[in-house]
Structure 1
Amino acid sequence: MPTDAALPHDVDRRSTSIDEAVAFYERVYDSPDINVGRAVPDGFSWRYRAVGDDEVTVGTSSVGANRWGTVGQGTGYVLAWATAPGLTLDSASRDPLQMQPGVPVMYPVGRDFAFEALPTTQHLIRFDSGFLESVAAARRATVPGPLTFTSTTDAAHLEHLRGLIRAAAPELLDPGTDRDRRAALNMLVAESVVDAYDAAPTVDVALFEGPATMRFAQEWMIANAHRPITGTDVVRAAGVKARALQATFQRHADTTPMAFLRQVRLHRVRAQLVAGDPTSTTVAATAGAWGFAHLGRFAAFYAESFGERPSETLRRVQRFG
């Protein structure tokens, strides 16, 4: 079945030009420092193929030469694995990571890092930060925030993750995959990554205790907080009548479902402002990305929740950074 609209990420680039490869990968990796050296004996070529939506993009990168440089911090989370030895992440650190063939690892997060690579092929899955953070929060029963990951995973989790990726990859790489099917696969892969690498939000706010329906509604709202969901969407997902869900939230948490969702989004905005660069991050854009259309009301909710204006949170990075 065809998708409802063209995917935002459908890229297939290749050539035999080193200059084109450098320029392209500097854009992909948000870096001014990508270098390509001696080519393989049968000549130089490169190819980059990536397909995905605003939640998950899967891709393959093949470069027929040694390369080194810096990968920029970017705005998402990346799971990657190489097909052969010779790819090192964080190569300038005291603890470089030698990627083993076929073993997925998470890229370092929240900072730039150096890399070195022999000619090889690398497979990547890039997760939108808000999407993966919401999935991790739902698994942890807390609100979304920037994630930390363990550097390794146990054999059982690794085998489950690799099996799931093998099964999902053909459909995720197919631009014609139905939107709903793609969303379901995105969620399955994201949940497996969260479990395998013990992804933990740095924001720790527990869910309200209550009946199973209420817990499900909270977890569903956390997992979908990055989407433009409504009260009707929450009720439909929970499978109960609106009046019953409202009464359950009032009885057990003295709040409403949409007020809970607003708090989740406020915490997520705060996490992004705390981590943001005051020279490029704006309160309006961050709030808008999390569904706050009216900046004045958002600022009032924010101040009531955190005791300061959102602009003060953002400026703190500059004062103490």
Structure 2
Amino acid sequence: MESMLFESRDLARTEEFLNRAYTKMQIGGRAADVRTRISRAAAESISIDRIEIGFEMSYDADPLGKVCLCEVASGRITDHATDGWVDEFRPGDLVSFAPADRPFAGKIRRAAYTITMFDPALLTRVTGAGRKDDAAVRLLSHRPHSRTAAHQLSKTIAYLDQVLPNPAVKASPLVLASVSQLLASSVLAAFPNTAFPNTAMTDGADGRDARPPTVRRAVAFIESNLDQAITIADIATAAGVTVRAVQTAFQRHLGTTPLAHLRRLRLAEVRSELQGADPSACTVAEVAARWGFHHHGRMAAAYLDVYGELPSTTLAR
């Protein structure tokens, strides 16, 4: 379901909408108190919903089939039970609401909150796990490592909530890939998970693989695929090492990350295209979107830092 807005004071209508928008569920509450408002920003498999439940609503739901993050702004969500645990969420909490394949139940007590959902396969793809019969990546806890980790993820979600409605995001495969990678990487950085156990990046084979040949293979792959929606996992596979090894190799030998190097090369493509463009028939935003830059302000700042002028100046000249 793409971007939408739903408002209702009818319990049956609210239940019907929730079944259509999320999963099969039963809800309960006083019919006279019902007040529901839900707005959605969405692109491809990612959706961010801002929800206001202005009454005491119970819920008993089937599995969502997606990773579901919940950030509470006001009110409470109590007696939330899934996967063998029960918890209560208050303002400021950002949690993984339920595993994608588990049912859940609880009570919403006049709460405003954000629900962010996406395909679980995105976690596996961004890490490179799931290849060679490896298990899919799973979150190991419904709460982040720390308040700091939760705050960083909250900022990412707020940023994506502004970006997803932009038509340029939906029109560009590179932009969609960038947005998806950002969300998945932020989730993995915030929550304990099966992809990155708490060990040093340079330990064992990963450290031994972080050598110049690894960098050369990775750079060659990046340069050959600048116009493709590649991930850090794709880069690691092309280099024949793990994600951690290719990250360590880039930090050790180039002082950067694989994805930062990819963005720098795409920025050079933006400059090259602007230098040869007709200002009357082309805009900076159009060129930036073609090369995967979905935030014009950040792209312009990076461009200024590298080339000493704004992209609009390059185009005008």
Hey, what's the Cα distance between the residues in 2 that align with 1:150 and 1:55? 23
Give the equivalent residue in structure 2 for 1:280: none
Which of 210, 214, 217 is residue 211 of structure 1 equivalent to? 214
Counterpart check, 1:96 vs 2:86: yes
Query: How far is the alpha carbon of 1:54 from its aligned partner?
Result: 2.6
Q: Matched residues in 2 for 1:130 and 1:217: separation?
A: 27
**Structure 1 stretch 122-131 or stretch 206-215: which is displaced more?**
206-215
Alignment of 1:64-75 (within 5 A): 64-75=54-65
CA contact (8 A) 1:50 1:59 kept: yes
Which deviations, in whole Å up to 9, do the C-alpha atoms of 1:249-287 show, x marking residues without a partner? Answer: 6xx9xxxxxxxxxxxxxxxxxxxxxxxxxxxxxxxxxxx
2:105 partner amino acid: A
* 1:59 has 2:53 as partner: no
1:1-321 to 2 correspondence within 5 Å? 9-37=2-30, 39-40=32-33, 44-88=34-78, 90-91=80-81, 95-109=85-99, 110-137=101-128, 143=134, 145-152=136-143, 153-172=145-164, 174-179=165-170, 180=172, 181-201=175-195, 209=209, 211-214=214-217, 233=225
Letter in 1 for 2:5: D
Q: CA-atom RMSD, angstroms?
A: 3.9
Cα deviation, residue 186, structure 1: 2.8
CA distance in 2 between counterparts of 1:160 and 1:80 reads: 14
Structure 2 unaligned segments of length 5 or more: list them: 197-204, 231-236, 242-317
Instruction: Confirm or deny: 8 A CA contact 2:138 2:193 kept in the other structure.
Output: yes
Q: What is the Cα deviation at residue 12 of structure 1?
A: 1.7
Structure 1 unmatched ranges of 5 or more: 1-7, 221-231, 239-244, 253-321
Q: CA deviation at 1:111?
A: 1.2
Q: Is the CA contact 2:18–2:25 (under 8 Å) kept in the aligned structure 1?
A: no
TM-score (structure 2 length as normaliser): 0.57
| Cα offsets for 1:120-175 (capped at 9, x unmatched) | 22211101122233124469999561513323221321222122223332122x25
- Percent of aligned pairs with the same residue? 16
Give the paired residue count. 217
CA shift at 1:18, angstroms?
1.6
Q: Kindly indicate whether the alpha-carbon contact (under 8 Å) linking 2:2 and 2:42 is maintained by their aligned counterparts in 1.
A: yes
